[in-house]
Amino acid sequence: MKDYIEERALEIAKYIINEKATVRQTANIFGVSKSTVHKDVTERLPKINPLMAGKVKSVLDMNKAERHIRGGKATKLKYKTTTHK
């Protein structure tokens, strides 16, 4: 594996852990696709740093469990801010 890919995987992992970020948020910050973020943290990271991979997995599992709540809030906000004629 190329050094810059390992470095990116570690930086992405640190960001997800520190910010409790979603894959989508992380992809936007790092300027890569969601699939790249996912591959970095699910396939590459366990080979580089298994302990960190476990922490990232727990954050992503929490995000997955809460996504229906965030979606509901986003929809509520959307309809609250739009004017109905």
Task: Quote the pLDDT of residue 78.
Answer: 84
**What CA–CA distance (Å, rounded) separates 26 from 9?**
11
Residue 55: the pLDDT is 97
Rounded Cα distance between 82 and 26, Å, is: 28
Q: What are the mean pLDDT values of the chain's consecutive 10-residue runs (85 residues total)? A: 92 97 96 97 97 96 84 81 66
* pTM: predicted TM-score of the whole model, two decimal places: 0.80
User: What's the confidence (pLDDT) of residue 84?
Assistant: 58
